[in-house]
Amino acid sequence: MRKSSILCIGLALSLATLTGCGNNNNGASPSPTQSGAPGASQPAGNAIGGKITVLTNRTDLVDDGTMAKYADKFKEKYPDAEVEFEGLTNYATDVQVRLTTGEAGDVLLIPGSVPDSELSQYFEPLPDTLFDNVYFADLMKYDGKHYGLATGVNTQGIVYNKQAFIKAGIDKIPSTLDEFYADADKLKNAGITPLYMNFGAQWPMKSWGEESVWFTSGDPQYLSKMVQQDAPWQLNNEWGKMLTIARTLVQKGYVEKDLSTNNWELSKGDVASGKAAMYYLGNWVIPQIIGAGGKSEDIGFFPLPYDNSGKLNAPLGQDWMIGVSKSSSNKELATKWVEFFVKDSGYVESSGFIPVDKSKEPTLPQLAEFKSFAPNYIESQSTDPKFAEIGNKAEIGFYTGDYIQTLVTAKDLQKAFDDLNAKWKKGKAAVGT
């Protein structure tokens, strides 16, 4: 996720019910996969058509036919077009391998681990006209060329089941970390899983690391500044703060008992029914909970109380960025799909995002509740490319959640941080910073 500059909340977030940041990244259960090979060449003549393969993390939408419906709508505009989808369960990790082997299909979500300086190696430049009046237009712009278009705008916080809170005797939304822990204890005593962390799914764990430390710090360039630090992981900074919260939740039994299994799809049903009370994720997950059987009026959304100050920051940022593979043999059709998917398919609205198009307003009612808590919004912007370069050299899985799993379960967090700092320092030396 690329990071931020402080946003004066009045600012043309004139999205009546505002908020967003994401990354998110979603994730989902396994699904049958299609071929990941580049699409077939388009037919002769001027008609736009042919076949493209789209890689996605939304295996749920592949499985339930939603993606096929988007393809049918696209085909109404381009009758000679054929779109196939390949859902990747562990997208952030798997797609990195696909990029290096040239098996990244024609259209894909761009992993945050790709430095801006390397975008041109893997992705085709997109037309400038796609970026008129959209959020995060320049987030993946390098040497004057755009490589990625945001698929939605997010904020991140606690998504909760109101009925579960009522059952546990919680009548006030927690505004401090102590209150949050106290409410988690009430939920546990009521036989409800307080927070479904989705430890086994891996990717959601990034919420307790690089997806949060930048906005909780109030410093939009927090990750960029790590490039100049030999030992950025410390117990007394934002990394220590967020990892301590995650570790406390695990150690006190406030999360799911099974930490080894990927129960992402199952977890949505648990939160929908009130068997589990909370997620720490973006607003994009709310429609998925409702789709799993939850009632919209029973699902709420509030900022994570990460300390006891009572004054909280919240992110405003992009969800996944989408782009066209450099290895695509049908780049014209692939580009048309990118434009259609973000602006015309209905995906942005049905997924609960704030629209990328600044002229449109969000439709998700939970965003109004989130805004009512008056968080200080921090807007995402580009991180120093060396952050990803150092991470790659150090073999630290930023945005995959894997190293966060290790930190959360480590016997000694300080030692785990020391080990991570040593890897980071070697990565810095390899990059030359």
Banded pLDDT at 342 (limits 50, 70, 90): very high
Measure the CA–CA gap between 156 and 207, rounded to whole angstroms. Answer: 9
Q: What is the 3-state secondary structure (H, E, C) of the chain?
A: CCCEEECCCCCCCCCCCCCECCCCCCCCCCCCCCCCCCCCCCCCCCCCCEEEEEEECCHHHHHCCHHHHHHHHHHHHCCCEEEEEEECCCHHHHHHHHHHHCCCCCEEEECCCCCHHHHHHHEECECHHHHCCECCCCCCEECCEECCEECCEECEEEEEEHHHHHHCCCCCCCCCHHHHHHHHHHHHHCCCEEECCCCCCCHHHHHHCCCCHHHHCCCCCHHHHHHHCCCCCCCCCHHHHHHHHHHHHHHCCCCCCCCCCCCHHHHHHHHHHCCEEEEEEECCHHHHHHHCCCCHHHEEEECCCCCCCCCCEEEEEECCEEEEECCCCCHHHHHHHHHHHHHCCCHHHHCCCECCECCCCCCCCHHHHHHHCCCEEEEECCCCHHHHHHHHHHCCCCCCCHHHHHHHHCCCHHHHHHHHHHHHHHHHHHHCC
Among 21-25, 54-58, 192-196, 333-337, the minimum mean pLDDT is found in: 21-25
> By percentage, how much of the chain surpasses pLDDT 70?
89
Q: Kindly list the distances between the CA atom of residue 51 and the CA atoms of 41, 81, 87, 378, 415, in Å, as whole numbers in the listed order.
A: 7, 6, 17, 40, 51
Q: What pLDDT is recorded for position 428?
A: 98
Banded pLDDT at 381 (limits 50, 70, 90): confident
Residue 10 has pLDDT above 80, yes or no: no
Residue 41 has pLDDT above 70, yes or no: no
| Cβ 359 vs Cβ 295: under 8 Å | no
Banded pLDDT at 406 (limits 50, 70, 90): very high
Banded pLDDT at 56 (limits 50, 70, 90): very high
Q: What pLDDT is recorded for position 16?
A: 32
Residue 337 has pLDDT above 50, yes or no: yes
Measure the CA–CA gap between 302 and 324, rounded to whole angstroms. Answer: 35
Residue 27 has pLDDT above 80, yes or no: no
Banded pLDDT at 144 (limits 50, 70, 90): very high
Measure the CA–CA gap between 144 and 122, rounded to whole angstroms. Answer: 16
Q: What pLDDT is recorded for position 9?
A: 30
CA-only gyration radius of the chain, Å: 21
The distance from CA 13 to its chain's CA centroid, rounded to whole angstroms, is 20
Banded pLDDT at 380 (limits 50, 70, 90): confident
Q: What pLDDT is recorded for position 65?
A: 97
Could you tell me the domains of the chain? 25-153+319-360 (3.40.190.10)
| Residue of 234, 205, 231, 249 lying closest to 398 (CA atoms) | 205
Q: What pLDDT is recorded for position 39?
A: 37
Residue 221 has pLDDT above 50, yes or no: yes
Residue 7 has pLDDT above 50, yes or no: no
Measure the CA–CA gap between 235 and 395, rounded to whole angstroms. Answer: 22
Record the pTM: 0.73
Residues 180-200 pLDDT 10s: 999 999 999 999 999 999 999
Q: What pLDDT is recorded for position 410?
A: 98
| Cβ 136 vs Cβ 383: under 8 Å | no
Rounded to an integer, the average pLDDT of 281-306 is 97
Other Cβ atoms within 10 Å of 377 Cβ, number: 25
